[in-house]
Amino acid sequence: MARKISDSTVRRLSAYLRILENLDRDGETTVFSERLAQIAATTAAQVRKDLSLFGSFGKRGLGYSVSQLAVELREILGLHRRWRLLLAGAGRIGAALFEYSNLLQRGFEIVAVVDTDPAKIGTNWRDLTIQPASDLEALTRSEKIDFLVVAVPADSAQGVVDQAVRAGVQGILNFAPARLHVPDAVELKNVNIVMELEALSFALSRRKESEEG
Amino acid sequence: MARKISDSTVRRLSAYLRILENLDRDGETTVFSERLAQIAATTAAQVRKDLSLFGSFGKRGLGYSVSQLAVELREILGLHRRWRLLLAGAGRIGAALFEYSNLLQRGFEIVAVVDTDPAKIGTNWRDLTIQPASDLEALTRSEKIDFLVVAVPADSAQGVVDQAVRAGVQGILNFAPARLHVPDAVELKNVNIVMELEALSFALSRRKESEEG
DNA sequence: AGGTGTGAACACTTTCACAGCA
DNA sequence: TGCTGTGAAAGTGTTCACACCT
């Protein structure tokens, strides 16, 4: 069963789960691949293929049970447990993340925050005290951190990552506009806003060109 | 020349540009595809293929001129002009974005901010006054907005988008955890933090399983 | 000599179309 | 009957390998 699952499949699974939760809240009990596809902006065949990589969750002729499929997806995505996050960087992005209640609801708990700014160290965010960045490695161990969230400036990002990796962190979510280098054993995801804006810029420029041409 | 360029290529172009800017700052004048690839965490062939989709920018045997290639990439990505952004949502995420100085440096200027909260409307962010969300459509027209940035809760996101689309917005950057529906003529990019964390969760769960298995 | 530019081979992802089961 | 599950086909993206130019 240890097949390679593509990144696009995983993202779609996450989207399906969100949709199922909404359908469930609206009182719907079953759903067809066709409907799921329409909401997720994909195709029915894609939905069925994605799910079939992990098992047979539907009933032929009858579709999928909304609540059961949600349970399966949570299991597949590893959301049946809580994940412990350390946030590096108590700036604007860090603050926005810390206040983002969706995270905790979904099982991602920020259990430690570090920063280099002496004015911030020692102050409280809700019931957490901001710790000095020099304690990152020790905290990662003592707090049994699963993921590091990088919300520091680009130049400090690699240093922060190296420390966390030494302390055994398994996953990294990077908001700094820098390409980080980590061992293969560590999973890395990047969120790069400038890159997304540049992709929009590219698409729009291109459109205009072909209109004119 | 109106070939279809893949999203992954565009993201890499954006990464190459960032790398070239750093190399330039460090005083490097030429670079080989091999080096660029190593920093961007891809392959030399990929770098050359990506660039070759738009022209021949290097010299055989000699590599690429750092500054010239940067100019070409800016042109390709449509960064030779400024883009005008309207920010919908003056919450935490909106504030983090507004303060994110990289945006302006790179030609993305937030020229209007709207919110529904009466306590926020009329207050100033730097030299911008927060406007009522009901003015979104009019503002989009009068301010000649290119992109809408969606930083409102998931339930209000589609409504905001519909208004902006009616007013002729061309691109949308969505931070709300919702699948938005827009006409083909409008370019849409999503930034979904929960989805990224769930992808990490999936990868890590999977690893553990195969270690145990 | 040495690195780019690129067709052709390969690998991966999505779509099609239909057999199979409720 | 009607929708799922899935091999096989089509479509896309990446890597290879070498001709070509400086």
* B44 neighbors B61 (Cβ within 8 angstroms): no
Per DSSP, the three-state class of B159 is helix
Strand B147-150 and strand B83-88: the pairing is parallel
- A205–chain B nearest CA distance, Å: 5
Tokens of B202: 């999936």
Any residues with CB less than 8 A from the CB of A176 and at least 6 apart, and which? A150, A151, A152, A153, A154, A156, A157
- Alpha carbons A185 and A170: distance in angstroms, whole number: 7
Is pLDDT above 60 for A213? no
Strand A131-132 and strand A108-115: the pairing is parallel
B196 to A189: CB separation less than 8 angstroms, yes or no: yes
Burial of B142 per CB tally in 10 Å (0-12, 13-18, 19+)? exposed
User: What are the backbone angles phi and psi of residue A95, rounded to the nearest 5°?
Assistant: -65, -45
Of B15, B187, B205, the CB nearest to A204: B187
The CB density around residue A26, as the number of other CB atoms within 10 Å, is 8
pLDDT level of residue A212 (50, 70, 90 thresholds): low
B15 to A210: CB separation less than 8 angstroms, yes or no: no
- Alpha carbons B19 and B13: distance in angstroms, whole number: 10
pLDDT of residue B212: 66
Q: Following DSSP, what letter does each residue of A18-65 receive, concatenated? A: HHHHHHHHTT--EE-HHHHHHHHTS-HHHHHHHHHTT---SBTTTBEE
Tens digits of residue pLDDT in A129-168: 999 999 999 999 999 999 999 999 999 999 999 999 999 9
- Alpha carbons A208 and B210: distance in angstroms, whole number: 49
Q: Which residue has the higher pLDDT, B205 or A210?
A: B205
pLDDT of residue A208: 72
Helix (H) or strand (E) holding A111: strand A108-115
Tens digits of residue pLDDT in B15-35: 999 999 999 999 999 999 999
Strand A30-31 and strand B147-150: the pairing is unpaired
Residue with tokens 């390409």: A179
pLDDT of residue B3: 73
- Of B27, B23, B82, B73, the closest CA to residue B50 belongs to B73
Tens digits of residue pLDDT in A49-85: 999 999 999 999 999 999 999 999 999 999 999 999 9
Summary mean pLDDT of chain A: 96
Which residues in B lie closer than 8 A to residue A206 (C-beta atoms)?
2, 5, 78
Burial of B84 per CB tally in 10 Å (0-12, 13-18, 19+)? middle
> How many distinct helices (H) and strands (E) make up chain A?
9, 10
A78 to B205: CB separation less than 8 angstroms, yes or no: yes
Of A11, A204, A209, the CB nearest to B199: A11
A201 to B77: CB separation less than 8 angstroms, yes or no: yes
Tens digits of residue pLDDT in A93-119: 999 999 998 999 999 999 999 999 999
- Alpha carbons A21 and A7: distance in angstroms, whole number: 22
Mean pLDDT computed over A22-44? 98
Which residues in B lie closer than 8 A to residue A77 (C-beta atoms)?
198, 201-202, 205
Which residues in A lie closer than 8 A to residue B189 (C-beta atoms)?
196-197, 199-200
- What does the longest C-alpha to C-alpha distance in chain B come to? 63
- Alpha carbons A4 and B8: distance in angstroms, whole number: 19
Q: What is the CB-side half-sphere exposure of residue A96 using CA atoms within 13 A?
A: 22
- Alpha carbons B136 and B142: distance in angstroms, whole number: 10
- B134–chain A nearest CA distance, Å: 25
Is pLDDT above 70 for A121? yes
The ranges of chain B with pLDDT < 70 are 1-2, 212-213
Tokens of B76: 């390709």
A95 to B96: CB separation less than 8 angstroms, yes or no: yes
> What is the CA B181 to C1' C22 distance in angstroms?
34
Q: Which nucleotides of D are covered by protein (CB under 7 A)?
A: 1-7, 12-17, 20-22
> What is the CA B86 to C1' D17 distance in angstroms?
49
